[in-house]
Chain A
Amino acid sequence: DIQMTQSPSSLSASVGDRVTITCRASQGISNSLAWYQQKPGKVPKLLIYAASTLQSGVPSRFSGSGSGTDFTLTISSLQPEDVATYYCQKYNNAPVTFGPGTKVEIK
């Protein structure tokens, strides 16, 4: 099975900072990657699918890139409401697999 890793596991940044989270697949998955945001005590929310397509209603400060094995989620200007754990998910075939998550906090 393809394994998903994320780095860093956590980060602390200031409001307005540019934040980048990396997701890596152990084998190529083309662009079959999604990103989710889960705020504390809340339900996961889809941010990006097909590696770079922004889900409707998601603020444009979120962007995704990558293909194959290496992917990034970027928050161009971190806001207080972006405090959350971010998960990548691969879906090129079974099993669907989530990354371990990256916890984002405000410094």
Chain B
Amino acid sequence: EVQLLESGGGLVQPGGSLRLSCAASGFTVSTYAMIWVRQAPGKGLEWVSDISGGGTTHFADSVNGRFSISRDKSNNTLYLQMNSLRAEDTAVYYCAKGGAGSGWSKYFFDYWGQGTLVTVSS
């Protein structure tokens, strides 16, 4: 059974850092596209970053240069390192697993974690 479990959220001051983790089970993180999506309170879904099975990464302009995405094969976990956090980064952060397929055809997301709340405030 595929499961995704995020952790690492919390309250952080502006300018601070957090690392989110997404522990996966039931599949191998390094063989699928993975994505981080966030949802600010009362708002819609916003793509943050993705990483392909081959390791190619993409970032939203709003986080480019501040966030990084990585994964660890040894513990089958996806990460989102968030630096220089701003109030507008406050949101629930979801990780999700890409579908089957090749190239961009697999960048739809069939399993989602429960989300972890990041609050950036002084």
Residue ranges of A at the interface with B (Cβ–Cβ < 8 Å): 32, 34, 36, 38, 43-46, 49-50, 55, 85, 87, 89, 91-101
**In the complex the two chains form, is A95's CB within 8 Å of B115's CB?**
no
With A43-B94, A43-B114, A49-B99 in contact, is A98–B108 under 8 Å at CB?
A: no
**In the complex the two chains form, is B115's CB within 8 Å of A34's CB?**
no
**In the complex the two chains form, is B45's CB within 8 Å of A50's CB?**
no
How many Å from the CB of B95 to the closest CB on chain A?
A: 11
**In the complex the two chains form, is B105's CB within 8 Å of A32's CB?**
yes
With A98-B44, A100-B44, A101-B44 in contact, is A91–B107 under 8 Å at CB?
A: yes
How many angstroms between the C-alpha atoms of A55 and B110 in the bound complex?
8
**In the complex the two chains form, is B110's CB within 8 Å of A96's CB?**
no
**How many residue pairs bridge A and B at CB < 8 Å?**
61
- A92, A96, A101: the one contacting B35 at CB < 8 Å is A96
- Of the listed residues A36, A94, A96, the one surrounded by the most CB atoms of chain B closer than 10 A to its CB is A96
Q: Does B50 contact A (CB under 8 A)?
A: yes
Q: Does B60 contact A (CB under 8 A)?
A: yes
Interface SS majority for chain A: loop
How many angstroms between the C-alpha atoms of A45 and B112 in the bound complex?
7
Chain B residues whose C-beta falls within 8 Å of the C-beta of A45 in the assembled complex: 112
Q: Number of contacting residues on B, CB 8 A? A: 22
5 additional A-B residue pairs with CB within 8 Å, beyond A92-B104, A95-B47, A96-B50: A44-B45, A49-B99, A49-B108, A50-B105, A101-B44
How many angstroms between the C-alpha atoms of A98 and B45 in the bound complex?
6
How many angstroms between the C-alpha atoms of A43 and B107 in the bound complex?
18
How many angstroms between the C-alpha atoms of A32 and B105 in the bound complex?
7
**In the complex the two chains form, is B44's CB within 8 Å of A87's CB?**
yes
How many angstroms between the C-alpha atoms of A94 and B45 in the bound complex?
16
How many angstroms between the C-alpha atoms of A89 and B99 in the bound complex?
13
- B47, B113, B114, B115: the one contacting A96 at CB < 8 Å is B47
How many angstroms between the C-alpha atoms of A78 and B37 in the bound complex?
28
**In the complex the two chains form, is A95's CB within 8 Å of B108's CB?**
no
**In the complex the two chains form, is A44's CB within 8 Å of B35's CB?**
no
Give 1 or 0 for each of B83-99: 1 = CB within 8 Å of chain A CB: 00000000000101001
Chain A residues whose C-beta falls within 8 Å of the C-beta of B113 in the assembled complex: 43
